Amino acid sequence: MEGIVKGWIISVIAIAVILLAFLSISYPQPSAKETVEPRTVEVLLLAGEGVQKIAPDNDLYPGGVMYSTMTFNGTIPGPVISVNQGDILKITLRNDGSTVHSLNLHAGFGPSQALSSIVLPGESRTWTMKADYPGAFLYHCDGDNLNGIWEHIASGMYGGIVVRPPQEEPAKEFYVFFSEVYSSDDSQPNKTSKLGSFDFEKFMDGKPDLILTNGMAFRYIPWIGESAKVMLNPDAEEFHVKIDELTRWYIFNAGPRSSVAFNFGAGMIPVDEVGNEDKIELPAYDEIRNIPPGSGTVVEIAFPEKGTYFGNNHDIGSLLKGAGFVVNVDDE
Residue 273's Cβ-side half-sphere holds a number of Cα atoms within 13 Å equal to: 1
User: How many other CB atoms are found less than 10 A from the CB of residue 79?
Assistant: 16
Q: Tell me the residue number closest to Cu ion, measured at CB.
A: 141
**Near Cu ion by CB under 5 A, which window of 93-101, 247-255, 290-298, 308-316?**
93-101
**Near Cu ion by CB under 5 A, which window of 14-22, 156-164, 194-202, 319-327?**
156-164
d(Cα 246, Cα 174) in Å, to the nearest integer? Answer: 11
Smallest distance from Cu ion to CB 49, Å: 9
Q: Which of 66, 138, 157, 221 is close enough to bind Cu ion by CB under 5 A?
A: 157
**What is residue 209's DSSP assignment?**
S
Smallest distance from Cu ion to CB 211, Å: 21
Q: Which of 106, 152, 219, 248 is close enough to bind Cu ion by CB under 5 A?
A: 152
DSSP element (H, E) containing 19: helix 2-26
Termini Cα distance of the chain? 69
**β-sheet with 158-164: strand ranges across:** 81-84, 158-164, 135-140, 104-105
Report strand pairing: 172-181 vs 246-255.
parallel
Q: Which is nearer to Cu ion, 136 or 157 (CB)?
A: 157
d(Cα 158, Cα 71) in Å, to the nearest integer? Answer: 7
Q: Does residue 236 touch Cu ion according to CB under 5 A?
A: no
Smallest distance from Cu ion to CB 219, Å: 23
Q: Which of 61, 91, 101, 256 is close enough to bind Cu ion by CB under 5 A?
A: 101
Residue 203's Cβ-side half-sphere holds a number of Cα atoms within 13 Å equal to: 20
d(Cα 89, Cα 92) in Å, to the nearest integer? Answer: 10
**Near Cu ion by CB under 5 A, which window of 36-44, 83-91, 151-159, 271-279?**
151-159
**Near Cu ion by CB under 5 A, which window of 144-152, 187-195, 225-233, 309-317?**
144-152
Residues in contact with Cu ion, total (CB under 5 A)?
A: 4
Q: Which is nearer to Cu ion, 143 or 322 (CB)?
A: 143
Window 25 to 84, contacts with Cu ion (CB under 5 A): none
* AA letter at 320: L
Q: Which is nearer to Cu ion, 91 or 323 (CB)?
A: 91
Q: Does residue 141 touch Cu ion according to CB under 5 A?
A: yes
d(Cα 243, Cα 62) in Å, to the nearest integer? Answer: 37
Site for Cu ion, rule CB under 5 A = 101, 141, 152, 157
